[in-house]
Structure 1
Amino acid sequence: MKADIVVENISSLVTLEGDNKPRTGNEMGNVGLIEDGIIAISDDKIIYVGKGKLPQDIQIDNETKIINGEGKTVTPGLIDPHTHLVHGGSRENELDMKLKGMKYLDILEAGGGILSTVRSTKEASFDDLYNKAKNSLDKMLELGMTTVEAKSGYGLDTETEMKQLRVAKKLNEDHPIDVVSTFMGAHAIPKEYKDNVDGFIDIIINDMLPKVSKENLAEFCDVFCEEGVFSVDQTRKILNEAKKYGMKPKIHADEIEPLGGAELAAEVEAVSADHLVAASEKGMEMMADKGVIADLLPGTCLNLKIGKMAKARKMIELGIPVALSTDYNPGSSPTENIQLIMYLAGLKMNMTPEEVITAVTINAACSVDRQKEIGSLEEGKKADIAIFNAPNIAYIMYHFGINHIDKVIKNGKIVVEEGKVKKSQII
């Protein structure tokens, strides 16, 4: 077989090879490290991963692109399993409120927060939303991301929710990054339904879900299960209805108050429970028992000035598979920088570099149900690869605040060179 691209002499090749399942406990520290590694690609697939030289049955010629990996760290393409990619406007005006001590739920109650972005998103055209989100995807690609989950939830009416999801679908078709869509009509309660939450839930169940399903616009369904938003019973009702349409459940769980979202995530067998800053020990134990992935978002905690982080160490010790996300959104976490999140996970949640890289590769792949295709560097998997200007994974998190990416390979094509998107690869 002929190789189209070969990356050789790799100082630190991080393969994450193994079973295509979420890693827990000590498994999160096993990253399949190979020194003096080599990886070969044909078309859009990996055809060899190993040490030293290529085997004789893999040929190269003058057309084969040879990349020198000396002094580099090579990992699977990074995966962000929790973003609010498609939205209108921005909320820098809320910074002063936070500095003066206003809490997140107080800002929401005052008509800011999610409801502010809902107004901007309703007013934005399809093209406005597309171009704004595409700009963010370009940044994410330059930071090493090759797959991104994108939620709706800034419409809170059928038309705008569908608009967001259609934008995400078009971006998935056009952009090198794979965009995995999640329906989140239950992101907040519209003002007009403040005293009739059940009436809004009826719209989600009887209008939004059927229409989203008919156009096949979302693979997952998420609900903001939190005090002042949707209760455990309301969340259960929405997610059980979504499951009837084949949408896999996710939950914004116990972000601020210990409402019982972690317990519910285990009950409905959610793919992931996200945030979990206030999750109870019972809820975490139930998640471990059911194999629910804990999708942690330290950037959000930092930006909201919550004063604490999710208990990543406790979760890992309990046997919960941990993933990491930016939670990119215009309010609580306005950053596309997954490398910053990796740093925060180490500094603020005491995760090791090995655990962190596992959390943004194979465990993140499991959180978007793509583990058979991506998340590790193995023969037969998609050639989604990040090449860092760093001698090892610890250096990526140690030297923080900069972009360490040299190259990104997506579907077997070099799409980022010297840390910049190759414009020929972007529509």
Structure 2
Amino acid sequence: MSAPELTVRPAARRLWRGGRLVTFQDREGWGLVADGAMVTAGETLLWVGALADLPEDLMADLRHGQVEEHDLGGALVTPGLIDAHTHLVYGGERSAEFELRLQGASYEDIARAGGGIRSTVAATRAASEADLLSAAEARARALMAEGLTTLEVKSGYGLALAEEAKCLRVARRLSDLGLTVRTTFLGAHALPPEFDGRADDYVDAVCAWMPQLQREGLVDAVDAFCERIAFSPAQTRRIFEAARALGLPVKLHAEQLSDQGGAALAAEFQALSCDHLEYLSESGIQAMARAGTVAMLLPGAFYFLRETRLPPIEGLRAAGVPIALASDHNPGSAPGLSLLLMLNMACTFFRMTPEEALRGLTVNAAQALGLRDRGQLVAGQRADFCVWDAAHPRELAYYFGRNPRRTTVIGGRERG
């Protein structure tokens, strides 16, 4: 007896009409469509344009009730927001260090005294997987309340194979909230206490862990912290070489506190992004431009650490390096959970335009994750978008302490 034929139903089509669309379809400009419409089929944007230009075949299907209709009521619609640099999975908190910094201690002083990342490592190791998941879910939901649709989560608070795997498993489970989640192995975040004085031995261990973490399906990319208080360029190179041997893309915490030449090193390995970049040199900018590496700026950390040296925005613009933004949520230097505040900070501190800032949380953030299927409202892209009670997209960067989000659609489904 032959097996029965399976009937594959076409994905349900929906018409989202009456929105003011921010498409970002070109390299410059908002790509505004005043009376816009989108047709989704399952998780995909099937058609985007002016409602008056809706193709006749879709109009006919609409008249025959074969397309579900949603009236956006004149609301603003943007691509879904993407947070492409977070440390969302960790135990404990570090408000005491916040107080110490206000009394004059520097980030480096605290780290060298055994605080900083190491204190979070101790709390994370002590936490159960269930407790870590509960806390991370609450943080992710706070970001989703302001339009998050895609999330990157780094490890780096376990600093031992079993603990790093624990954190990466928790990060993967955040996809149960409906988000797309990308996980990044940041074993080279700090030197754990059991490796005191043996940084090279720890780098050997980090490289040895990668194949197992990859086999377990826990790693999408590899990151490192290249800085005076962390890992040297030579040690970072060894980590990147191990990642490349496994076919894993890399990114780098680079030039945050000093110029270690990390950006140029990362660009040599075709890094997806270099992140922080307050001390980025002109040669680093040019290397990133040649490699197509995204500049990931983190205004929350800049603000929280009361930094005064600005990233070289004009140099990045002149070289055509895409600029992305992220929350950098972490317990020590950027405990914020507001992507809308990141828009305002990027404009206020870095003098980015509202358009540049919103691109930084959409199309350029997608590029920083190696995801080419989102970040714009164009046919063929993933149907991730946000609906806002706003008249113009610049309002999203203008206000702070106000959340105009009406609803979020992830993969063609409303998430409230």
TM-score bracket, normalised by the shorter chain, equals: over 0.9
Tell me which amino acid in the other structure corresponds to 1:14: V
- State percent identity of aligned pairs: 38
Kindly indicate whether residue 266 of structure 2 is the aligned counterpart of residue 265 of structure 1: yes
Higher mean C-alpha displacement, 358-367 vs 45-54: 45-54
Map of 1:17 onto structure 2: 25
Deviation string 1:219-247 (CA, Å, 9 cap, x unpaired) is 10000000121001110111111111121
Q: Is the 1:262–1:287 Cα contact (8 Å) retained in structure 2? A: yes
Tell me which amino acid in the other structure corresponds to 1:44: E
Deviation string 1:170-206 (CA, Å, 9 cap, x unpaired) is 222x121111000000000112323111111111112
Question: Offset of 1:65 from its aligned partner?
Answer: 4.2
Map of 1:45 onto structure 2: 44
Q: Is the 1:298–1:309 Cα contact (8 Å) retained in structure 2? A: no
Question: Offset of 1:31 from its aligned partner?
Answer: 2.9
Map of 1:22 onto structure 2: none
Tell me which amino acid in the other structure corresponds to 1:110: A
- Equivalences for 1:347-362 in 2 at 5 Å? 347-362=348-363
Question: Offset of 1:276 from its aligned partner?
Answer: 0.5
Secondary structure at the aligned position of 1:135 is classed as helix
Whole-angstrom distance in 2 between the partners of 1:280 and 1:396:
31
Deviation string 1:375-404 (CA, Å, 9 cap, x unpaired) is 111222211011111111111111222212
Question: Offset of 1:63 from its aligned partner?
Answer: 7.7
- Equivalences for 1:287-306 in 2 at 5 Å? 287-306=288-307
Whole-angstrom distance in 2 between the partners of 1:2 and 1:212:
35
| Unaligned runs of at least 5 residues, structure 1 | 19-26, 417-427
Map of 1:383 onto structure 2: 383
Tell me which amino acid in the other structure corresponds to 1:145: L
State the structure with bigger RCO (CA 8 A, min sep 6), 1 or 2: 1
Secondary structure at the aligned position of 1:31 is classed as coil
Whole-angstrom distance in 2 between the partners of 1:275 and 1:190:
23
Q: Structure 2 length as normaliser, TM-score? A: 0.93
Map of 2:6 onto structure 1: none
Whole-angstrom distance in 1 between the partners of 2:170 and 2:12:
35
Question: Offset of 1:129 from its aligned partner?
Answer: 0.8
Whole-angstrom distance in 2 between the partners of 1:123 and 1:67:
49
Tell me which amino acid in the other structure corresponds to 2:17: E
| Unaligned runs of at least 5 residues, structure 2 | 1-9
Deviation string 1:245-298 (CA, Å, 9 cap, x unpaired) is 121010000111111111112222211100101111111121112211101101
- Equivalences for 1:168-317 in 2 at 5 Å? 168-172=171-175, 174-206=176-208, 208-317=209-318
Kindly indicate whether residue 139 of structure 2 is the aligned counterpart of residue 131 of structure 1: no
Question: Offset of 1:99 from its aligned partner?
Answer: 0.5
Match of 1:8 among 13, 17, 20: 17
Question: Offset of 1:62 from its aligned partner?
Answer: 8.9
Tell me which amino acid in the other structure corresponds to 2:25: E
Whole-angstrom distance in 2 between the partners of 1:320 and 1:113:
31
Supply the RMSD in Å over aligned alpha carbons: 1.6
Map of 1:421 onto structure 2: none
Tell me which amino acid in the other structure corresponds to 1:9: G
Map of 1:365 onto structure 2: 366
Question: Offset of 1:57 from its aligned partner?
Answer: 1.5
Report how many aligned residue pairs link the two structures: 402
Whole-angstrom distance in 1 between the partners of 2:341 and 2:315:
22
Whole-angstrom distance in 2 between the partners of 1:249 and 1:292:
10
- Equivalences for 1:24-63 in 2 at 5 Å? 27=27, 29-53=28-52, 54-58=54-58, 59-60=61-62, 61=65
Tell me which amino acid in the other structure corresponds to 1:8: R
Whole-angstrom distance in 1 between the partners of 2:11 and 2:112:
60
Deviation string 1:2-25 (CA, Å, 9 cap, x unpaired) is 964333222x3111225xxxxxxx
